[in-house]
């Protein structure tokens, strides 16, 4: 039996909330903390299954890591050459970020290792990292169709390369920059469109200069990383569910506190504002190299739009929630240029279209996106998340505009990114129960 969410129809979202820590930054803080020299103290850490998989992998490779409180982690870094061979395969669970970034880290070690994952991760494409790593000298075996498990042969000499990425992917960029730490010479990655830059920012914070020239980021290997402290803001991707919920539910007024507003992540704010949402960015300041702010979101009538293509990589994880906003908007919303959504934790184009159809929404599936005809009220019904955390949370918010309860099956994986979702959402006014 897996968790089912049952969400009563209607209601509004009110009050002030701090959602859990940023998933992308939490993964990177463990990785760089483990590879640094000295003690790194991490606060605001996301205590979700994905980041705990990264943490457990480094513990298995001999890195002392303590957790004095659930959101605080102390990592005693072992330096770039201090990792030990793991006791067995490293289980990355549901996390594409953990698997792809670890691939970059492990490619440069002098021991063999194997990365495994759950059923969803075992379907996801890995050649996008293994092929460019192979050009640097790495030896990594995938299954015949390019999926995990990944068998990484240690003891290879890596050489810095200039990579021009075909896909706008922060995971691929980060895996290559991390492998660059063990490579001879300079490793440069040019991306086709800007993607989240947490790796570059954090490497700088750990004393590793990252050269940036327009769309290209470069690192030079060899230098030590210096430990320090990392203060992780709330995850804008988790805040996005409440941004959409408050925007669609009449009478809503929410303050989302201390949210990371790195400009490579704020596409969701831009897209919702283009749809007519009322979102104020308050008290903007910088913490540990990352911009943070409070977001005040109030109900506003939304209208359908053509989503600008350049915003797609800047909102890549927020489309399940944005599709729900589109379903409640007046008129038609069209997304194109988002074929990457098909290879996330689920095929987020098809799975969202199937669920929206259950709720009475007329949508047309495109190879690289979705055309959604908004309606004043959604139907209730039973939808499946296909084990995808963000699908589950998006449909929970849809109930705010439904005329009958929405039941969402298969919600266990919400714990990968937002373990306390049901409790916090109930606190804000959503009629959700998890059983
Ligand atoms: C992430 C990058 C994105 C995003 C994922 C987290 C990261 O993936 O979807 O949730 O932390 O680097 P892609 O690089 O595959 O776009």
129-185 pLDDT tens trace:
999 999 999 999 999 999 999 999 999 999 999 999 999 999 999 999 999 999 999
Give yes or no for residue 244 having a pLDDT over 80: yes
Q: Do 43 and 71 form a contact (C-beta atoms < 8 A)? A: yes
Q: In this predicted model, what pLDDT tens digit does every residue of 390-423 receive, in sequence order?
A: 999 999 999 999 999 999 999 999 999 999 999 9
Q: Do 163 and 140 form a contact (C-beta atoms < 8 A)? A: no
Tokens at residue 30, please? 């463990």
Decide if 5-21+233-434 and 23-231 have a common fold.
Answer: yes
Q: Do 44 and 58 form a contact (C-beta atoms < 8 A)? A: no
Catalytic entry in 91, 317, 388, 410: 317
DSSP 314-328: GGTT-HHHHHHHHHT
Q: Whose CA is nearest to atom 11 of ligand 1?
A: 24
First to last CA, the chain: 10
Tokens at residue 381, please? 């019904």
Give yes or no for residue 111 having a pLDDT over 80: yes
**CA 404 centroid distance within chain:** 31
User: Average pLDDT for residues 367-389, to the nearest whole number?
Assistant: 98
- Residue 357: its H or E element: helix 348-358
Q: What is the pTM of this model?
A: 0.98
Distance 261 CA to ligand 1 centre (A): 16
Which of 160, 46, 151, 163 has the alpha carbon at shortest distance from 102? 151
Which ligand 1 atom lies nearest to the CA of residue 237?
Answer: 10
Q: Do 79 and 109 form a contact (C-beta atoms < 8 A)? A: no
For 5-21+233-434, which CATH class? alpha beta
Q: Which long-range contacts (CB under 8 A, 24 or more apart) does 78-82 make?
A: 78/34, 78/35, 79/35, 79/36, 79/37, 79/224, 79/225, 80/35, 80/181, 80/182, 80/222, 80/224, 80/225
Averaged confidence pLDDT in the chain:
98
Helix 127-135 and helix 96-107, axial crossing angle in degrees, nearest 10 = 10
Give yes or no for residue 1 having a pLDDT over 80: no
Distance 262 CA to ligand 1 centre (A): 14
In the chain, domain spans: 5-21+233-434, 23-231
DSSP alpha helices (H): ranges in 210-295?
236-248, 267-274
For 23-231, which CATH class? alpha beta
Give yes or no for residue 359 having a pLDDT over 80: yes
Tokens at residue 206, please? 């750990």
- Residue 253: its H or E element: strand 253-260
Distance 317 CA to ligand 1 centre (A): 8
Torsion angles phi and psi, residue 376, rounded to 5: -65, -40
Angstrom distance (rounded) from CA 102 to CA 98 = 6
Cβ–ligand 1 distance for 169 under 6 Å, the answer yes
Angstrom distance (rounded) from CA 47 to CA 278 = 30
Give yes or no for residue 52 having a pLDDT over 80: yes
Q: In this predicted model, what pLDDT tens digit does every residue of 362-371 receive, in sequence order?
A: 999 999 999 9
223 pLDDT band, cuts 50/70/90, is: confident
Q: Is 317 a catalytic residue?
A: yes
Cβ–ligand 1 distance for 316 under 6 Å, the answer yes
Beta bridge partners of 211: 218
Q: Select from 21, 29, 97 the residue to mutate for testing ligand 1; criterion: most ligand atoms less than 8 Å from CB.
A: 97
């Amino acid at each position: 039996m897996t968790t089912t969410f049952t969400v009563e129809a209607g209601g509004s979202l009110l009050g002030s909330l701090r959602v859990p820590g940023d998933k992308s930054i939490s993964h990177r803080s463990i990785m760089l903390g483990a590879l640094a020299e000295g003690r790194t103290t991490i606060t605001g850490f996301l205590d979700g299954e994905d980041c705990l998989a990264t943490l457990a992998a480094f513990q298995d490779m001999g890195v002392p890591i303590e957790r004095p409180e659930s959101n605080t982690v102390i990592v005693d870094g072992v330096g770039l050459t201090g990792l030990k061979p793991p006791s067995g395969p490293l289980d990355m669970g549901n996390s594409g970020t953990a698997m792809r970034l670890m691939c970059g880290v492990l490619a440069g070690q002098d021991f063999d290792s194997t990365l495994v994952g759950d059923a969803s991760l075992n379907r996801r494409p890995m050649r996008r990292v293994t092929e460019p790593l192979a050009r640097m000298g790495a030896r990594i075996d995938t299954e015949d169709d390019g999926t995990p498990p990944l068998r990484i042969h240690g003891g290879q000499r890596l050489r810095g390369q200039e990579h021009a990425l075909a896909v706008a992917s922060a995971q691929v960029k980060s895996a290559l920059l991390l492998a660059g730490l063990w490579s001879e010479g300079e490793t440069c990655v040019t991306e086709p469109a800007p993607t989240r830059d947490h790796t570059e920012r954090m490497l700088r914070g750990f004393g590793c200069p990252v050269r940036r020239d327009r769309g290209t980021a470069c690192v030079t290997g060899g230098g030590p990383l210096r430990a320090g402290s990392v203060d992780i803001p709330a995850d804008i991707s988790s805040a996005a569910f409440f941004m959409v919920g408050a925007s669609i539910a009449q009478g809503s007024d929410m303050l989302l506190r201390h949210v990371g507003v790195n400009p490579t992540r704020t596409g969701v704010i831009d897209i919702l504002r283009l749809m007519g949402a009322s979102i104020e960015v308050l008290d903007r300041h910088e913490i540990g190299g990352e911009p943070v702010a409070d977001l005040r979101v109030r109900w506003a009538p939304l209208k359908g739009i053509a989503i600008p293509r350049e915003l797609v990589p800047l909102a890549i994880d927020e489309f399940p929630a944005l599709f729900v906003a589109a379903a409640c908007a007046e008129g038609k919303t069209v997304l194109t240029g988002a074929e990457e959504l098909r290879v996330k934790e689920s095929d987020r184009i098809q799975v969202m279209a199937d669920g929206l159809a259950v709720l009475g929404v007329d949508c047309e599936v495109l190879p690289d996106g979705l055309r959604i005809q908004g309606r004043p009220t959604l139907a209730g019904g039973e939808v499946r998340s296909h084990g995808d955390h963000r699908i589950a949370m998006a449909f929970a918010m849809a109930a705010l505009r439904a005329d009958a309860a929405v039941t969402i099956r298969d919600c266990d994986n919400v714990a990968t990114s937002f373990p306390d979702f049901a409790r916090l959402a109930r606190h804000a006014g959503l009629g959700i129960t998890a059983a």
